[in-house]
Structure 1
């Protein structure tokens, strides 16, 4: 018996070696045609296969390909996809990519402006020096005289489970990206790629996960199914649900409304909508709650001192009197708001500054670094910052996202009154009351089942693996009744799955796999109670299963539809075979009861994008 077993092992090794010998290595570069500069994070792939890699910071890549001639494709955000033939004996490839639209040079301002022939948003390109930008350039999506700004998103790539078995990130309950994308589509425009944060689109929707029943404030759920946009892969869903708390049992709120009344807010979809939004919140206040109102323009000032929730008419009158005008001393307003909040902290009170602005700070402490330091310091005192974004044209999404992240608060974009109602009525507790802070996830993949994996979205929430056990590392918070969903696309281990070759195989990491071999992965979650500094640990194991997407629950199918839609809007290198028609089919079968109509609205947005997204 031992003899036959040895022969079998030898045969497998010979087959493996023969397969490996059929692969060859090609190297190359990917550059942009305008500047002849290397483009980082470009996905370079043998067309129609999982033989792929990504360029480094200088645009260089190495790729193992099958023997013989192959077609290689290069895919990068903001650039036209390109395919080239690589001959059987060719070992070096140099690829040049063109931006999606032609450029007009404006030498006096040292910038480039995209010539938009299709009536969609003009794009301003500034500065080629920022190393953290996927394309090596900074692109701002904007109509003429428009300064909207978005942080660049370097899309997550595949990692091998043997070389990088851990994936660690901070949870995200924000949903600003979805309502901002909705604003673009409702205005007849495709959103800029960097405005599309897939995780925020996924987490916009309500999912019927069961609330935790034990002592922990968060419950973990996991499942998996065949990936519908690449049926050779699988999708893993990780779902979180925080505990429900009756409104009457929530601690008293110590709130400060910090409202931008600068000249840039003097538009119908800005300050007037801000006033309507805050009136909705004021109607939800209880007698034990307190509200102060601070405004800022050329300078910051107190419109209303801290006032009890029983005096709603007084608070509403102060909101009614707000008018726009002046420049924007945003930093000074934040400092004043925090000072007032600190003066009214009581035992177990919920202390929060709620900032409403278009993000256009231009007077006073306005750099990201200064504002981050102010907000981080106050967060450590137990005063959180939630951010509401308004308007268009000069909207600063990048700045507002950072402020909310550093302030342990939510970030929402209010594009209409319905979104204000949802934020302050339907999800009152989740918006204002934290039940678990610094929530981090770490997933360990079993290489017996997972050859490689990629996290769908959460690019701005990635953490170092060592951050998971570091209680000093800040992470996302979950409010009352919040749900969080994350998707991993995995390439299963098997003879037909080529190894994703980001790095050379490690020499000393082939230890025997420990634990239950039926486990695909283990999810670990760390959280802190709102008043605590020491984290608690939860764990959940996902056993292997194989099911088609049609067999999974409605919530899973809806998640898949939204994720695919986000990848289509971004023109993701990993969108696979997904189409708008498929998204409509998946979402149409996942509508469920939909009492608020959000899923029905999603279907209409997909239809609009399908019409707008024409070459």
Structure 2
């Protein structure tokens, strides 16, 4: 009897252990109509925030606590499906298209009064509407600006390096979209600084009245051991949501025909509803839409009336041409009419960037936005969709509007932008932030700023307070990397040949050779309403951190930068390989509360399968 009792106890505790560890569920998600795999499907454990998404083959794996667990499968444009786990460990799911979201689309004329398809538009007495079929581009018309990669500079002849910060991260999520679809991203879609800055880093909080801290770290360059890698990190001051100033927001939503597909307007609506959930009673939201013309869907409404805001979002439908310029002007007008003196005033534009009616040229739109930013209303730009994305235009508009640019490819990315980064996305703590590094030629032969090509500034613009530069939001981190060729190095890095000057000579200060300083970092910024910049200076010495003692921040940012260079097939990639990127990243996961670093690691594992840029 004693033996049986012991056996029962062993079986009980064994079963308890197995149950505690959970059950691993795997499977594949497909389209019920054609059986094709669906990449990027969100799978959540019902009642929790635990989840995963399918890979490019539509496959997934997730651990659940027990047989009673329920999995929720969600994909934009398809009916959500719930599946009870039961005794199954392999669960394949076929999702059915949600035809209701893809049916008739309606365009409202300028100044409609009354209701058209459930959307209230206010303005003149004219009333017009038309029905359109789904308008999807027959071929890929995505557009990216040509990006000339920065080169090594001779520290003696060009000792200064000046650039504006960049908090945009659209490039990473866009690159991820291509890779998840099994495609190579266009070279010019890969902006390395945006890939690096997609991730947050563990920098110290600022002290005193300074809005951000400055951290530097110097060690051997992972892809070229003869060189050094300088890591610069800025950490914006965290401000609890409850302490943020009141927000005066205008949602400017593209409802033209090009937005009809499931990864565009339906995803826009889902994302904005996540943002509405974060609003406080003191916050206000208005909604402006544009298609063939622009119209006010919802007047400025308090955040305590979430149901009215969400109802207005739910009623949006798509169709027609794209009068983006008119929409932008109307959105700014509404924002100015409801201006919050001590608050955050911002237009949030959601579009694929296809403006083709009225004011549509890039230069005209940029001039409008440059003028409007002087009113204190800033612009955040969110890109959506595939096949028609005007990336170059949207990035430029955000830059000129003192805002940020993000690309939203799935509902989890919408959560990152609208929920996880709510304060940083919507509240500016410092504007016109510029960096200037002066290198000591006695210690540095050459240097190269990795990325930031379209953020370069002339050296004299550093002290020019009229020169616009990047802005920083609450809690944001900004990271920049320099590859440095030490003066004593035999590195093969080339800076290009320039003839010696005939009429003047450059001589080193004798103290430069004796100094341990390799560079001086200077940073200028303005307070959100300030007109004069403030200066921060920091000296970096030649005291190297050994590779084994570098921080997770250093190694992970280096991994992402190396990955970007491989995707661009950069001439400066040195000995970088995907296995090297993977090793660096896996050893630098850090806290990774949201799982973004793990997602990057999984992407890297698949990159060599879709890219011939080794």
For the criterion TM > 0.5, the same-fold answer is yes
Q: Choose the corresponding residue for 2:397, options 403, 409, 414.
A: 403
User: Does the C-alpha gap of structure 1 residues 143 and 236 become closer, same or farther in structure 2, counting only changes over 3 Å?
Assistant: farther
The within-5 A match list for 1:527-538 is 527-538=525-536
Quick one: distance in 2 between partners of 1:302 and 1:513? 66
Question: Which residue of the partner structure matches residue 74 of structure 1?
Answer: none
Question: Which residue of the partner structure matches residue 545 of structure 1?
Answer: 543
The within-5 A match list for 1:214-253 is 214-253=208-247
Question: Which residue of the partner structure matches residue 104 of structure 1?
Answer: none
Contact 2:137 2:258 in 1 (8 A): no
Quick one: distance in 2 between partners of 1:241 and 1:256? 28
Question: Which residue of the partner structure matches residue 507 of structure 2?
Answer: 510
Quick one: distance in 2 between partners of 1:371 and 1:388? 16
**1:495 Cα deviation (Å)?**
6.5
The within-5 A match list for 1:183-194 is 183-194=177-188
Q: Choose the corresponding residue for 1:270, options 237, 243, 264.
A: 264
Q: Choose the corresponding residue for 2:165, options 162, 171, 175.
A: 171
Bigger mean CA deviation after superposition, 312-321 or 205-214: 205-214
**1:513 Cα deviation (Å)?**
4.5
Question: Which residue of the partner structure matches residue 468 of structure 2?
Answer: 474
**1:511 Cα deviation (Å)?**
3.6
Please give the secondary structure, in 1, of the residue aligned with 2:300: strand
RMSD: 1.5
Quick one: distance in 2 between partners of 1:295 and 1:256? 10
Bigger mean CA deviation after superposition, 245-254 or 148-157: 245-254
Residue 560 of structure 2 is aligned to residue 565 of structure 1: no
Structure 1's unaligned 5+ residue stretches are: 1-141
Residue 345 of structure 2 is aligned to residue 351 of structure 1: yes
Q: Choose the corresponding residue for 1:486, options 473, 480, 484.
A: 480
Segments ≥4 residues shifted beyond 6 Å? none
Structure 2's unaligned 5+ residue stretches are: 1-135
Question: Which residue of the partner structure matches residue 180 of structure 1?
Answer: 174
The within-5 A match list for 1:56-95 is none
Please give the secondary structure, in 2, of the residue aligned with 1:232: strand
Please give the secondary structure, in 1, of the residue aligned with 2:479: strand
Contact 2:519 2:539 in 1 (8 A): yes
Please give the secondary structure, in 1, of the residue aligned with 2:536: strand
Quick one: distance in 1 between partners of 2:195 and 2:328? 28
User: Does the C-alpha gap of structure 1 residues 365 and 496 become closer, same or farther in structure 2, counting only changes over 3 Å?
Assistant: same
Task: Output the TM-score relative to the length of structure 2.
Answer: 0.76
Residue 262 of structure 2 is aligned to residue 282 of structure 1: no
Question: Which residue of the partner structure matches residue 587 of structure 1?
Answer: 585
Quick one: distance in 2 between partners of 1:396 and 1:202? 22
Bigger mean CA deviation after superposition, 273-282 or 589-598: 589-598
Contact 1:521 1:542 in 2 (8 A): yes
Quick one: distance in 1 between partners of 2:259 and 2:510? 59
Quick one: distance in 2 between partners of 1:495 and 1:240? 29
**1:460 Cα deviation (Å)?**
0.6
**1:550 Cα deviation (Å)?**
2.7
The within-5 A match list for 1:10-409 is 145-409=139-403
Contact 2:432 2:471 in 1 (8 A): yes
**1:572 Cα deviation (Å)?**
0.4
Quick one: distance in 2 between partners of 1:501 and 1:512? 24
Quick one: distance in 2 between partners of 1:147 and 1:388? 18
Please give the secondary structure, in 1, of the residue aligned with 2:480: strand
Deviations 1:17-68 (A, max 9, x none): xxxxxxxxxxxxxxxxxxxxxxxxxxxxxxxxxxxxxxxxxxxxxxxxxxxx
Contact 1:163 1:505 in 2 (8 A): no
Contact 1:199 1:457 in 2 (8 A): yes
Task: Output the TM-score relative to the length of structure 1.
Answer: 0.76
Residue 442 of structure 2 is aligned to residue 448 of structure 1: yes
Quick one: distance in 2 between partners of 1:614 and 1:162? 37
Residue 551 of structure 2 is aligned to residue 556 of structure 1: no
Quick one: distance in 1 between partners of 2:441 and 2:546? 22
Please give the secondary structure, in 2, of the residue aligned with 1:334: helix
Please give the secondary structure, in 2, of the residue aligned with 1:611: helix
